[in-house]
Structure 1
């Protein structure tokens, strides 16, 4: 997945700016509380313990309804006082790619901890992550309050140098495959559980398998002329070239696919035609 630098904003200034748009609203003594929970969020996420972050409790006049209003009217609205910050966070995704799947184009900001339960973080920049429509829909309102319900957080997690999922062939003729999350025990239990949860809940196996099937169809067309000469060496070399081209992204579906194919003798020696 794609790692992104944390937003470089003064979180309390954003809070003051959004609340200040409503003359009747006041922070009173709430600033110290926000400083505390924002700091706790950052610390827990840094140590991979996001599941310990408590759901929000209403704070004086800053109830759930008002906090959600701040996000909708002051952060997400094109006329909002903090829309500039919204756009900067949205634009922080490299190449506009969704950091949660590394595939689709980002379309909005997601509350990593859903605002429905963690409403005091509704305008906290570190909780706002660029996301595509697909991942946003799959993630929905999942409350990440357990180790097995975590998602990769692109501001705090970086697994981009790990091939943490792999391809398994279910059938050789016709070719059928599936993507699976590895055990990843070397990363520790909490990281391993987070990767499994992320992979499963965002249904990345479906997305990557679909992409891979299309790619295998393209490879069939490329390799078909080599059937007559049985030039399996050229097939293998092309697969290695394809793998090396994406070697800088070992956590991509392409890398996992080619890393698997170059080890499959049946595929190299003509099995590539067995794709519908």
Structure 2
């Protein structure tokens, strides 16, 4: 859930290259004939994405959409190697997934799916850095039943970039330490963006994914918790605060890791011994 900077690309030249290649090597003249229409769609991409009621597919003639959709096959060609590299590194946290900010972005996503919007199958503003997990969960979805967008657009939508987090973690203590993540609508997040942000949070399964990673991280830090707690005073809190500062600088305030660290640092129960519900220290 982070922004990204759209890659610099000569989209008209890229389309012309693919259209000419298909005509010369496969005798397919339709992509060339569709060039003027596709260029018009390129120019209206932003307004279509942000339209009230969500993006609407264009009604092409018989065979036209399928022909445009197949342009995506050329993204693996050498001609597009620079574009693929630029897309994958486009996130604010370079190399991170622009949808979850959790995993490395090793794949290129079509924000508007090529199955519905073939005209944008090689358009740079429609190509977004994504991790394999988000890609499998996103699939060809792009809007809700009510018509509103299901996902924020990493190049167009902007969330507050200050130090106040909109992702929050809460702790409960039972047989173990249970951490849960939720969203908080902070100043700077308008109602329209808030709806899409919540849609994305649930559609990508981020609450459960963040909980899983945070639980693993707490387990990996467990022995350090015991060591600093044994030194008495606020030593454990100070240790967690140092980790929080380091991770916030590295990942920003809305990454699950600094959010987790903030929650445990602020929990009196956790820092006064509640962390022991994570289990005993590792035997030496």
TM-score by length of 2: 0.84
Pair 1:87–1:243, CA change in 2 (3 A): closer
> How far did residue 201 of structure 1 move?
0.8
| More off after superposition, 241-250 vs 92-101 | 92-101
Q: Secondary structure at the match of 1:192?
A: helix
The 8 Å contact of residues 15 and 123 in structure 1, kept in 2 or not, is answered as yes
Alpha-carbon distance between aligned partners in 1 of 2:189 and 2:157, rounded to the nearest angstrom: 12
- Match status 1:152 vs 2:157: no
> How far did residue 269 of structure 1 move?
0.4
> How far did residue 26 of structure 1 move?
4.5
Alpha-carbon distance between aligned partners in 2 of 1:216 and 1:112, rounded to the nearest angstrom: 34
Number of residue-to-residue matches in the alignment = 269
Matches within 5 A, 1:5-84: 5-23=5-23, 24-26=28-30, 30-43=34-47, 45=49, 48-49=50-51, 52-59=54-61, 63-72=64-73, 74-76=74-76, 78=77, 81-84=79-82
The 8 Å contact of residues 165 and 256 in structure 1, kept in 2 or not, is answered as yes
- Match status 1:272 vs 2:275: yes
Q: Secondary structure at the match of 1:117?
A: coil
Q: Secondary structure at the match of 1:21?
A: helix
Alpha-carbon distance between aligned partners in 2 of 1:220 and 1:91, rounded to the nearest angstrom: 34
- Calculate the aligned-residue CA RMSD, in Å: 2.5
The 8 Å contact of residues 169 and 263 in structure 2, kept in 1 or not, is answered as yes
Matches within 5 A, 1:87-236: 87-93=85-91, 94-144=93-143, 148-159=148-159, 161=161, 163-184=165-186, 186-228=188-230, 231-236=232-237
2:83 maps to: 85
1:46-86 CA-partner distances (Å, limit 9, x unpaired): xx54753221322576x2221122111x223x46x434433
Q: Which runs of 5+ in 1 are unaligned?
A: none
Q: Secondary structure at the match of 1:135?
A: helix
Alpha-carbon distance between aligned partners in 2 of 1:92 and 1:188, rounded to the nearest angstrom: 25
The 8 Å contact of residues 41 and 53 in structure 1, kept in 2 or not, is answered as no
Pair 1:234–1:119, CA change in 2 (3 A): same
Pair 1:14–1:211, CA change in 2 (3 A): same
Q: Secondary structure at the match of 2:21?
A: coil
> How far did residue 172 of structure 1 move?
4.5
Alpha-carbon distance between aligned partners in 1 of 2:214 and 2:120, rounded to the nearest angstrom: 38
| More off after superposition, 124-133 vs 4-13 | 4-13
> How far did residue 246 of structure 1 move?
2.4
- Match status 1:251 vs 2:262: no
